[in-house]
A and B are shown apart, each in its own frame.
Chain A
Amino acid sequence: MDLSFVILVEMLYAVASLVLISAGLAIVFGMMKVINLAHGEFMMMGGYATITAVGLGVNVFVAMLVIAPLVVGLIGLIVERLVIRHLYGRLVDTMLATWGLSLVFIGLATMIFGNTTTGISTPIPGFAVGGYQINGYNFFIIVVSIVLVIAMYAILRGTRAGLIARGTMQRSDMAAALGYSPDRIYMATFFCGSALSGLAGAVLAPLVGLVPTSGGAYIAEAFITVIAGGPSLIAGLVSSATAFGLVNQIFTFAISPVIGEVALLVAAVVLLRAMPQGITGRFFKDKM
Chain B
Amino acid sequence: MSLNRRELLGGAATLTAAGLLPTVTLAADTIQLGSILDTSGIFDAYGKPMDQAMRLAVKEINDAGGLLGKQVEVAAYDTQSDMALYSQYAQQLTRQDQVDVVHGGILSASREAIRQTMRKTKTLYFYNVQYEGGVCDRNIFVTGVTPAQQVEVLVPYAMGKSGPKVHILAADYNYGQITARWIQKFVEDNGGEVVATDFFPLDVSDFGSTITKIQQTAPDLVFAPLVGGAHLSFFRQWAAAGMKDKIPLASTTMGVGNEHKVLTPEEGNGIMVAYNYSQELETPSNVAFKEKWEAEYGDTTAIHELAVSTYQGIMLWAEGVRKAGSVDRDAVIDALETGISIEGPAGKVTIDPQTHHATLDVHIMEFEGQGMTVVETLPQRAPIDTQAVCDLQANPDDNTQYEIEI
**A122 & B44 in contact (Cβ 8 Å cutoff):** no
Complex interface: chain B residues within 8 A of A118 (CB): 262
A256 contact from B198, B208, B236, Cβ within 8 A: B198
Q: Which of B211, B259, B266 has the most CB of A within 10 A?
A: B211
Task: Decide if B243 touches A207 in the complex (CB within 8 Å).
Answer: no
- Across-interface contacts of B199 in A (CB, < 8 A): 256, 258
A210-B229, A211-B42 are contacts. A119–B243 as well, Cβ < 8 Å?
A: no
**Residues of chain A within 8 A of B211, CB atoms compared:** 133, 135
Does A135 lie within 8 Å of B44, measured CB to CB? no
Contact across chains for A208 and B212 when beta carbons are under 8 A apart: no
A260, B209: Cα distance in complex, Å: 10
CA A162 to CA B241, docked complex, whole Å: 39
With A136-B240, A206-B236 known as contacts, the answer to whether A115 contacts B45 (CB < 8 A) is yes
B239 beta carbon closer than 8 Å to chain A: yes
Contact A10 B209 (CB under 8 A): yes
CB within 8 Å of B: which A243-257 residues: 249, 252-253, 256-257
Please tell me if the beta carbons of A17 and B206 are within 8 angstroms of each other in the complex.
Answer: yes
Most A CB within 10 A of own CB, among B41, B199, B237? B237
0 or 1 for each of B227-238: is its CB under 8 Å from A? (1 = yes): 001111100110
B233 A7 Cβ-Cβ under 8 A: no
Report the nearest A residue to B172, measured CB to CB: A258
User: B45 — which chain A residues lie within 8 A by C-beta?
Assistant: 114-117
- 1/0 per residue, CB under 8 A from B, across A113-152: the answer is 0111111011011111001111111100000000000000
Alpha-carbon distance between A10 and B211 when the two chains are bound, in angstroms = 10
Contact yes or no, A135 B229, CB < 8 A: no
Per-residue interface assignment for chain B, residues 292 to 332, with 1 indicating a CB less than 8 Å from any chain A CB and 0 otherwise: 00000000000000000000000000000000000000000
Which residues of A have CB within 8 Å of B242? 125-128, 133, 135
A217 within 8 A of B: yes
Residues of A within 8 Å of B259, CB to CB, are 117, 209
Which of B203, B210, B236, B241 contacts A121 (CB under 8 A)? Answer: B236
Among A97-120, those with CB < 8 Å from B are: 114-119
A208 to B259 Cα, complex, angstroms: 13
A13 at the interface (CB under 8 A from B): yes
Q: Report how far A115 CA is from B46 CA in the complex, Å.
A: 10
Contact B241 A209 (CB under 8 A): no
- Complex CA–CA separation, A256 to B210 (angstroms): 8
User: Of B203, B206, B242, B243, which is in contact with the most chain A CB atoms at under 10 Å from its CB?
Assistant: B206
* Contact yes or no, B241 A135, CB < 8 A: yes
Of B212, B259, B266, most buried by chain A (CB within 10 Å of CB) is: B212
Chain A residues, Cβ within 8 Å of B213:
253
Q: How far is the CA of A135 from the CA of B237 in the complex (A)?
A: 7
Task: Assess the B44–A208 pair: CB atoms within 8 A.
Answer: no
Given contacts A10-B209, A122-B236, contact A209 B216 (CB under 8 A): no
| A3 on the B face (CB < 8 A) | yes
For the residues of A in contact with B, the DSSP-based class is mixed
CB within 8 Å for A133 and B215 given contacts A116-B45, A117-B229: yes
Smallest CB gap from B200: residue in A: A257
Contacts of A213 in B (CB 8 A): 42
**B236 touching A3 by the CB < 8 A rule?**
no
Q: Are B240 and A121 in contact (CB under 8 A)?
A: yes
B208 x A208 contact (CB < 8 A): no
- Please, how many angstroms separate the alpha-carbon atoms of A115 and B259 in the complex? 12
A residues within 8 A CB of B237? 122, 135, 207
Nearest Cβ on chain B to A192's Cβ, whole angstroms = 26
A209–B226 Cα distance when bound, in Å, is 13
Q: Is A6 an interface residue (CB 8 A)?
A: yes
Does B201 lie at the interface of the complex (its beta carbon under 8 Å from any beta carbon of A)? yes
Q: Is A189 an interface residue (CB 8 A)?
A: no
Cross-chain contact of B215 among A132, A210, A260 (Cβ < 8 A) = A132
User: Cβ of A93: which chain B residues have Cβ within 8 Å of it?
Assistant: none
Q: How far does the alpha carbon of A213 sit from the alpha carbon of B43 in the complex, in Å?
A: 11
Asked, given contacts A206-B236, A211-B229, whether A252 binds B201 with beta carbons under 8 Å apart, the answer is no
The reply to whether B262 and A207 contact each other, CB–CB distance below 8 Å, is no
**B257 A131 Cβ-Cβ under 8 A:** no
Contacts of B232 in A (CB 8 A): 117, 119, 208-209
Contact string against B for A residues 196-212, beta-carbon threshold 8 Å, 1 for contact and 0 otherwise: 00000000001111110
Residue of A nearest to B208 (CB): A10
A260 CB → nearest B CB, Å: 7
Task: Report if A261 contacts B (CB, 8 A).
Answer: yes
**Shortest beta-carbon distance from A195 to chain B in Å:** 23
Q: Does B283 have its Cβ within 8 Å of any Cβ on chain A? A: no
Indicate if the CB atoms of B241 and A133 lie closer than 8 Å: yes
CB pair A257–B240 under 8 Å, yes or no, is: no
Contact A207 B240 (CB under 8 A): yes
28 CB < 8 A contacts A-B? A3-B212, A7-B212, A13-B208, A14-B208, A115-B45, A116-B258, A117-B229, A117-B259, A117-B262, A119-B236, A121-B264, A122-B237, A125-B240, A125-B242, A126-B242, A128-B242, A133-B211, A135-B211, A206-B236, A208-B205, A208-B230, A208-B232, A209-B229, A209-B262, A210-B229, A214-B230, A257-B206, A260-B209
The 8 closest A-B pairs by CB, nearest first: A126-B242, A209-B232, A122-B240, A135-B241, A117-B229, A126-B241, A211-B229, A209-B229
Beyond the given A118-B262, A132-B215, A135-B208, could you list 16 further A-B residue pairs with CB under 8 A, ordered by the A residue number? A115-B41, A116-B45, A116-B257, A116-B258, A121-B236, A122-B239, A133-B242, A137-B240, A138-B208, A207-B205, A207-B236, A208-B230, A208-B232, A209-B205, A252-B209, A261-B201
